[in-house]
Structure 1
Amino acid sequence: MGGYGPHGARAADDAAAPALTHGMTADQARQVLAVINDPARRAEFENTLAAIASQLPSAPAPAPAAPAHAAAPAQALTVQPDSLGSDLVQDTEALRASLIVQAQHFVALFGDLAFVVHWTHTIFADPQSRGILLDAVGRATLILLLALAAEHGVSLLLRKPLRGVTARALATEKRLNLPDAATAAPAPAATAAPDAEGTGQQAATEQDMQAQHATLRLLARVPYSLMHLLIKLVPVGLFFGLGTGFAYMLTTTHQAMLVTLTLTNAYVVARVVYLLMETLFVPHSPAIRLCGASDQTAFMVTRWLNFLVAAPSVVVCLSTLGGVFDMPGRGTEAIIRSVVLIEHVLVAIFTWRVRRHVASALQPSAHLLQQPFWAFVGRLVYLWWVPAMFFNFALWLIWATHIQGGYAWIIRTVILTTAVVILSRLFSVLAYNVQNRLFQISPAMEARYPGLQARVSYYYPAARKILSFLLSFATAIVFLQALGLPAINFLFHGKLGQKVMGTISSVIVAYTVAVFIWEAANAVLQSQIARFENSSQEGRASRLRTVLPIIKTVLLALIIIIVAVTTLSQIGINVAPLLTGAGIMGAAIAFGAQSLVKDFITGFFMLVENAIQVGDWVTAGGVSGTVEHLSIRTLRLRSVNGDLHIIPFSGVSSIANTSRDYNLVVVDVMIDLSQDTEQLTRILQEELAALRKIPRFTHLILSDFTFLGIEQADGNGARFLGSIRTAPGSKWTVYRQYYSRVAVRMNAEGIKFPVPSYLNFVDNWAGNELKIDAAPKAPPQQGQG
């Protein structure tokens, strides 16, 4: 293994060169291994290989493989180039590659464990080295087992003294809990003071007494805690004495003695540290516990202390034993690095387990929690474990990678992140107060625009969420900047950051404008309805109120489509295929559902033109009835027999509305030719005048009787026509009542009605003459043929 000087790398090259053609000998392998184990020689060897590689010709680049399949057709939904979506994809790929590189660097921290594997293989391959190692480990294990057995036996014998210490501590605790007569008596000055001052003084006195009592109790526990610790240290001292003595008496090699002493010292240090920490909690003896923790917390902490103190002991052992058995330094460092990482993982798990207990202990007093700032601090302390875990692993990373200025960075980061959290909270309080004022409508504005406060309050939760998102986003950016990451430069100067900010701004502006347009349209429509109602235009108000849902639905659909298209285009999604597909689908639906489209179009114009309203009596589609419901597509009529007819607007060619403006009662009377028309006119006019005097019919009859003349005069009589104008939908009521009165009056006045004539045809069979009997006859009675 000699012959390695400044030109060790060249010697390694000479040793490795014939190995490429004729194989490698054992001496050459040991020479190469010596170079690898020596950092200086290994660096020289690496430089030599780099120089050789730079002078060798490069291998020709392989020709690009032909695609196995034809290019896939373009998808209908694509991401536009040079957009936010494409930049996100590219940066995601770059981040993925960076994470892979960082993961490789992290794994490289433990790459030196290969030296441990090689060292183990070398030790066990050599019979002499293997014997020394097994002898040392075997003797050390036997000695430690004997010492542990002795320690355990002494611990069992010392249980009674420990219980005695606990009993005396309990007795002292009970004695201290008895109130003192001098302190229990009230002070004379307190009785003479006013009530308020006396109450405050008494509370302060009681608080001082409690603090004094707690201090005395703690001081009384200290001797018992020290006695408890000393008794527990006796078995550990016995273990140390036996382990050290047996290391000198029962070992035959220097290596075995060093292994035994190292393991003994590591165990004793771990036990002493554990017992010192246990003195604060003492899970089995609350009477001598020095810290104010519950039994559950004490058990959990002491259980985890067994794991937390074990890792430093292992580190001490490895750092010592590596030199004892000539383990390569890089291998020892890799093992120590791994063990320390396991220790930090255990600390992180322990931090997670005690997060709530620590947060409860860090809570401000109930009096301070009534103030907004301390209330925020009280909520913030529940997140103490987040920075604790972060800095726990940051400390390991800085130690493992030897980062220059790492600990200064941690201190600076702690100060900056704390300031960021506090300032962000203060700014958020101010921002929320401003938002509350903006969403609070003044009484004058509410009186001018009724319902404005309700509409504004409807959007308050969404606005609060948006504001919270923006504040959280800004806090995260400043927090990352405080950690040393160029977040601000990324947002305002980076290509992707500028697009992210532009996209967020555009989307927020689009949604804000959409909300303002929607609310403005609703306000205009509602004010128009109120204006119609105030100006006694109930018909127009009812018509606008009927079509209002349709207008709102169409407007909302347009706003949603525009905002959605704007959002997708800002993200970088190509919306042209979407719009084309939507147009094609709309055309297909229009052609395939022509009747449905006709229903909607006809219904919309029927409602806009105020052709019908709910409650009208109409005739549509050959059906007469009362309108019970109107939609954009159908009309529902309730006929006189109670049937409900649902008629689509596409089947309505015309509508006869009986409930609009006025109705006409057409009076059609057939009288005998010998009757006086003036007498009949007088009767009809007088009866109508009498009917109008009845309160029920006063508002239903809108005009006097109008004589229209004689429509027809022949052998069957004279047809007398007249008309009466009535209120909308009231003609049948007036018609029936009027005709009943006219019938009685005509009968009383002796008005004659024409009697129809019947022609009797006589058979002319067998030479009989044709005879026509034109004499009037009474109509046949019921039951006659």
Structure 2
Amino acid sequence: MPGLNFPLRYLLQALLLMLCSTFLSTAQAVTLPAAAVAAQSQQTTAAADTTPPDADEKRAAWAALANILDNEQSRQQLIEQLRKASEPPAAPADPVLTPPEEEEDKTVLQSVTDVSRQFGGEFASRLQTLQRNIVDAPHKPFNQQTFFNAVSHFAMLAAALFAFYWLTRWAASPLYRRMGAWGRRKNSDRTSWLHLPAMIAGAFVIDLLLLALALFVGQILSDNMNGGSRTIAYQQGLFLNAFALIEFFKAILRLMFCQRYPQLRFFHLSDDRAAYWSTRISWLSGLIGYGLLVIVPIVSNQVNVQVGAVINVLVMGLVTVWALYLIFHNRRNIQQELTRLADRSLAFFALFIRAFALVWHWLASAYFIALFLFSLFDPGNSLKFMMSASVRSLAIVAIGALVSGMLTRWINKTIVLSPELRRNYPELQQRVNGWLSAMLKLARVISVFAVTLMLLNAWHLFDLWHWLTVGAGEKLVDILIRIVVILFFSAVGWTLLASLIESRLASDSHGRPMPSARTRTLLTLFRNALAVVISTITIMIVLSEIGVNIAPLLAGAGALGLAVSFGSQTLVKDIITGVFIQFENGMNTGDLVTIGPITGTVERMSIRSVGVRQDTGAYHIIPWSSITTFANFVRGIGSFVANYDVDRREDTDRVNATLQAAVRELLEDKTIRGMVIGEPSFAGLVGLTNQAFTVRVSFTTQPLKQWTVRFALDGMVKKHFDAAGIKVPYQTVQVMQSGNDVAGAAGVQAALPAPE
């Protein structure tokens, strides 16, 4: 360099190399502009080479050294390292035990204040660094010949690469159309819903392969079109990196909007809207990518660092303003499109889509504002981080949506068991489908939780790997696995036992008889008790797995049980009485019983009470302990005795013959005959009064059929008595009169007709 002798120049170069390696390897490095970072890389390469550095490399090295020495923190670190290097090695000292410092307990407000102060100070430091880079950066002489030479080689490479990439994509366009047409045809036939997504994914893979081919050709062109200059080769390398990043993002845009091939478009979006958003987002990505990754570094290196920093601010300011305008200008349209998409989606996805429709514009605005702020401090790395996080977020959301969609489709499906299994275990199919649906819903919730954690990890807001391997996530996952296993075995045990009980309760149309009412009642009570026992044990085990000490619960339950046993003697009496009545087969569900003054049908039986429904509709709950005696009308047979009163003046033999004729005609009805057991018993004349005598007939019937037979018999007897002219007794009134008659009194008896 002019003005410096030979040893001093290489001494400064060695000092610069040591300084760069130190600050690149420590976590407390100061963020430099893109031009400084580029100059450091060039200087490192030049120092490793045996050839002397050229003038451009020397100027870049001096500019980077000036930027490092200009920063107070880096300058102090350099001074400390040089002093430590000059000191002789110290003798090993005796170890000194230092008690740990006690951490001060801070309130939540103090912790928030400390975090805000830390980030605020870091932000202010970044702003000061940016201001120094713009104002105090060293000026460089502008070499017009070098600049236009680099521009010409750069333009030739860019034109050749864009032309080649466009031709390859144009040649592949017929393949895209055929893939889209085939996928749509298969999707319209409803033969399989995977054909269209497979074609869309295949088109995206082909697009990436074409991009990789273009980058390979671009690297070959760069090796032959750099004019032998390392600076031009470096600038062309910047362009190739930016081209790869931007075109990869545009490939994702084509996957989402697919402007030229609507048949490969996954979303229901019109061609105009797809073209609108695809064009504008492509322009935004190109302006951001080529501006920050190509133009700003080249201008900073070839022209001036100050100009590069100003261009960086202008480009990102323009991009941010344009993006915010597009967001808020189309806010309502996109919200309406998302709402319509939610109406067409499954209920599970509709909830998330509607929530996203309400806040999407705020999320997009925060995205571009964060990109603007990050690009001011670290133009190259910030863009790579934002685009990498965006791509990973899209991939995570897509995979999560695919998994959740498959789980949702499986939830709506049912497992159909064989007819034999459904006949032997009538509730097994419904119970298996219920448990399977619950497990799939749990898996869907876990997938949503996993997607949320991975999104936070993609944006470096949460260290997922550390949380899973070292932090609380490892314990949480272990607990969740244990709980799922416990619930699984509990569900399997309950399903098997309940199915076995229900198989005994079910009748078989192929010959297996219906179990008795007593058996049904006992098995139902046993099933309910089994459900209580399994649920209690499962809850206790789950509580112990999540860290709840169940010993106090068990001790408290024992004490509570002892207290309840003293205070609930009636309840215990109800249970014991109910158990003995069931074992004695006293009554069962469906029996007609009389308990005290209540006569009705037994509808429900539990371990504490019995529910009886009267014919008036009233429902009575009667504790077992209050039952002293009861009558059951459904035990073996039913019977009744029919008495008929006729006028005393009628002939007894004729009345008995008429009654027997009525009974014979009644028994000719096959329905009535099927209800009668054996033959009726005629008792003849069983009662005699002044006005009437009584004839009797008795029947033995099937249980609960006595009233049906009795009502039919009354109708038939009335029919025969009317036909035979047999009269019922009349009600009489005797009137006593007094006078001076010879008899002294005369009795007059008047006959009154019997009430009808």
TM-score normalised over the length of structure 2? 0.44
User: Which structure has the greater CA radius of gyration?
Assistant: 1
Asked which structure has the greater RCO (Cα within 8 Å, sep 6+), the reply is: 1
TM-score, normalisation: structure 1: 0.42
